[in-house]
A and B are shown apart, each in its own frame.
Chain A
């Protein structure tokens, strides 16, 4: 490179290093505390494998739900002039800033057996969301979907509407336009949004334990298992924590290189 980069001032460098340490030290601590010799054994216990399997299936299901429902929602937010859209967007983003436990309590008020909707679901279809894997999916989707919706909405907003207009001029109906033009053009954002919300769903704790409970094999996901094991089996908890750390790290690196514009110089 021929251009000489400006060197950052020493003070900025010090502060930046302090900030970096704030992030890095806890993670280093976790890695350093891990019992590497027994890591695989810790991950092979029935409780751990069960939690990992459950976390994987529920988080993927929650992501699917976020995509299927979030895509139309993002479209409505980006493209229509429905009244109160600003308030609607705030509502959609609320789970991102709400403490997840509050989300769990809110879900309970809406879908517990004693709530109107929950009792109707149970009496009519025999569906009980609380204490069920479906409840875990619902709780995870509740906190994870906003990540998908804002990512896709932003992409839809920045998409030149004339592409869709040209397609219509060529005879494509609105569904054809969406499938053949809009969706392919926002595909990177759809994928990035799905991965972000998957990572969020995978790490979901507060709403899940509050709404879906903590039943081994049914609702005890990785974070719940980590929390419970911290008292009885700290090394197992740390092993599971490392798994989550690794996944989160991989997700971010993958996103950076492909979608978030960083990476290659």
Chain B
């Protein structure tokens, strides 16, 4: 008899596992019950509820966290969960089948990877722009004044070459005609890790987004990069085709583009979309 019980438990567990595996593939059906909020914000007749997952570039960590709270306050009963990492990592995860409803990228290229794979619902919306800045230790002990000071300063923290912030940093350095030997570059997986190498670690300086430098507060000093050399990053956001809740996902995207959303982004140092 006891064997029977055990068998039942094992079978139940296996069934659960199989069901869990299958749900990510066949989840489209659940979304059909919701009325698609075609345009504008959600109407009062169809109160929003449920849960969505948003994958956002690491540089959006603070602003999107704020935005999630504001959105949830406006729509009680909704939960927005975030995954922050480099846009490259996140797009790869989505390509590999990660269950994500909304993707906000720090560059166009990673968003294109998803549109090319037909994973994006409709067209992505550009909602913000960002610029790069040099960060140094508090008080700028090495006296760094420009990109040209970086090659001889010591270990410089940059994002990985295939991560947007790393690509942009490369472009900015090229614009200024500056080459930092690869032997004194430590590569972070995303903007936050790159900043941490300066704020927590022993890197003397790094190149990150203005917004990251702002978010770090007193932990680093920022040194501006002249507009001629600087690179403008464009942030697109989109609902993904595999979303479990298209209405809620669209509502969140709309909120990002709304005046409230833009105010939060501006407060965190982002430039408005062109």
Residues of A within 8 A of B (CB): 9, 11, 14-15, 18, 105, 108, 112-114, 118, 128, 130-131, 209-211, 213-220, 227-228, 230-232
Shortest Cβ distance from B108 into chain A, in angstroms? 16
Additional 12 contacts, C-beta under 8 A, given A112-B200, A215-B182:
A15-B10, A108-B200, A131-B186, A211-B201, A215-B184, A215-B185, A216-B182, A217-B183, A218-B183, A219-B186, A231-B86, A231-B162
Known: A14-B10, A217-B182. A228 touches B201 (CB 8 A): no
Q: Which residues from chain A contact B15 at a C-beta distance below 8 Å? A: none
Question: Please, how many angstroms separate the alpha-carbon atoms of A128 and B188 in the complex?
Answer: 19
Question: Please, how many angstroms separate the alpha-carbon atoms of A128 and B155 in the complex?
Answer: 11
Chain A, residue nearest B204 (CB)? A113
Q: Which residues from chain B contact A217 at a C-beta distance below 8 Å? A: 182-183
Chain B, residue nearest A135 (CB)? B202
Q: Which residues from chain A contact B188 at a C-beta distance below 8 Å? A: 214
Q: Which residues from chain A contact B184 at a C-beta distance below 8 Å? A: 215
Q: Which residues from chain B contact A131 at a C-beta distance below 8 Å? A: 155, 186, 201-203
Q: Which residues from chain A contact B185 at a C-beta distance below 8 Å? A: 215-216
B57: CB under 8 A from chain A?
no
The residues in B between 1 and 52 inclusive whose CB is less than 8 angstroms from any CB of A are 3, 6-7, 10, 14
Question: B162 is contacted by which of A112, A213, A219, A232 (Cβ under 8 Å)?
Answer: A232
Q: Once the chains bind, are A230 and B92 in contact (CB under 8 Å)?
A: yes
Question: Please, how many angstroms separate the alpha-carbon atoms of A217 and B183 in the complex?
Answer: 7
B99: CB under 8 A from chain A?
no
Q: Once the chains bind, are A130 and B201 in contact (CB under 8 Å)?
A: yes
Q: Once the chains bind, are B183 and A213 in contact (CB under 8 Å)?
A: no
The residues in B between 51 and 102 inclusive whose CB is less than 8 angstroms from any CB of A are 86, 88-89, 92
Q: Which residues from chain A contact B10 at a C-beta distance below 8 Å? A: 11, 14-15
Question: A228 is contacted by which of B182, B189, B197 (Cβ under 8 Å)?
Answer: B189
Q: Once the chains bind, are A113 and B183 in contact (CB under 8 Å)?
A: no
List 25 A-B residue pairs with CB atoms under 8 Å apart, sorted by A's residue number: A9-B3, A11-B6, A11-B7, A108-B201, A108-B202, A118-B202, A128-B202, A130-B155, A131-B202, A131-B203, A211-B201, A213-B157, A213-B186, A213-B197, A213-B201, A213-B203, A215-B185, A216-B183, A216-B185, A216-B187, A217-B182, A219-B186, A228-B162, A231-B160, A232-B88
Shortest Cβ distance from B2 into chain A, in angstroms? 11
The residues in B between 182 and 231 inclusive whose CB is less than 8 angstroms from any CB of A are 182-189, 197, 200-203
Q: Once the chains bind, are B3 and A11 in contact (CB under 8 Å)?
A: yes
B248: CB under 8 A from chain A?
no
Question: Please, how many angstroms separate the alpha-carbon atoms of A220 and B189 in the complex?
Answer: 12
Chain B, residue nearest A217 (CB)? B183
Q: Once the chains bind, are A112 and B6 in contact (CB under 8 Å)?
A: no
The residues in B between 141 and 159 inclusive whose CB is less than 8 angstroms from any CB of A are 155, 157
Q: Which residues from chain B contact A216 at a C-beta distance below 8 Å? A: 182-183, 185, 187
Q: Which residues from chain B contact A105 at a C-beta distance below 8 Å? A: 200
Question: Please, how many angstroms separate the alpha-carbon atoms of A130 and B14 in the complex?
Answer: 47
B114: CB under 8 A from chain A?
no
Query: Which of A114, A211, A219, A228 has the most chain B CB within a 10 Å cutoff?
Result: A228
Q: Once the chains bind, are A112 and B187 in contact (CB under 8 Å)?
A: no
Question: Please, how many angstroms separate the alpha-carbon atoms of A24 and B189 in the complex?
Answer: 29
B163: CB under 8 A from chain A?
yes
Q: Which residues from chain A contact B6 at a C-beta distance below 8 Å? A: 11
Closest 8 CB pairs of A and B: A213-B186, A232-B162, A130-B202, A231-B88, A131-B155, A214-B187, A231-B162, A113-B202
